[in-house]
Amino acid sequence: MNNNLENGNRLYKDGDSTSPHFIAPATGSVTNPLPLAPNQWGYSVSSTTPTAGEVANYKFQSVPLSNNPNVIMSSEYGVPEISTLDVHYGARINFDLAAGSYSGNIKYSALSNGPVTEALTVTPSTITSPDTEIEINTPLHTLDSDLDEIKVYVGDTETAENICANPRALITDHTTNQIRVSCVAPAHAPGNTASILKVSTSEVDYAYDNDKNNGASIRCVARNGKTPTFNGIISMQSMTARICNAETTPYAFKDGDASNQIVSDTTKTTSSDRNLVPEATLTDSRDNKKYVIRKLADGNCWMVQNLAFSPSAGQEFSIADTYINSGRYFTAPGASAPGANWDINGKDGPHFVEPEAGYEYYRNGTTPSSTGKLTESAGNYYDWTMASAGARSLSGSTITSTTIGKAADSFCPKGWQLPRNTMSRSFDELLTAYGLPNSAAGTDTQSPFSFVRAGRYIPGSSWSDRGTQGYTWAGTLPYSLVNSGSTINLQKSSPRGYGLPIRCLAAP
Strands (DSSP E) contained in 306-419 are 316-317, 330-331, 352-353, 361-363, 367-369, 381-382, 405-406, 416-417
For residue 170, the Cα-to-chain-centroid distance in whole angstroms is 19
pLDDT at 174: 45
Closest C-alpha among 223, 475, 132, 434 to residue 324:
475
Report the C-alpha dihedral over residues 313, 316, 320, 321, rounded to 10 degrees.
20
Identity of residue 36: L
Please give the distance of CA 125 from its chain centroid, rounded to a whole number.
36
Q: What is the pLDDT of residue 1?
A: 39
Which pairing describes strands 381-382 and 352-353: parallel, antiparallel, or unpaired?
A: antiparallel
pTM of the model: 0.59
Whole-number pLDDT of residue 220: 38
Q: Which residues of the chain have pLDDT under 70?
A: 1-8, 27-35, 46-59, 64-86, 107-227, 438-441
Short-list 504, 448, 497, 42, CA closest to 237:
504
What are the residue ranges spanned by the domains of the chain?
A: 1-111, 121-222
CB 262 within 8 A of CB 431: no
Half-sphere exposure of 294 (CA within 13 A, CB side): 22
Contact 454, 472 (CB under 8 A): no
Residues 6 or more apart from 452 whose CB is under 8 A from it?
A: 305, 306, 362, 365, 375, 376, 377, 378, 379, 445, 470, 501
Give the pLDDT confidence score for residue 188 in this predicted structure. Answer: 54
Q: What's the pLDDT score for residue 502? A: 98
In one-letter notation, the amino acid at residue 193 is T
Helix (H, G, I), strand (E, B) or coil at 238: helix
Q: What pLDDT is attached to residue 403?
A: 83
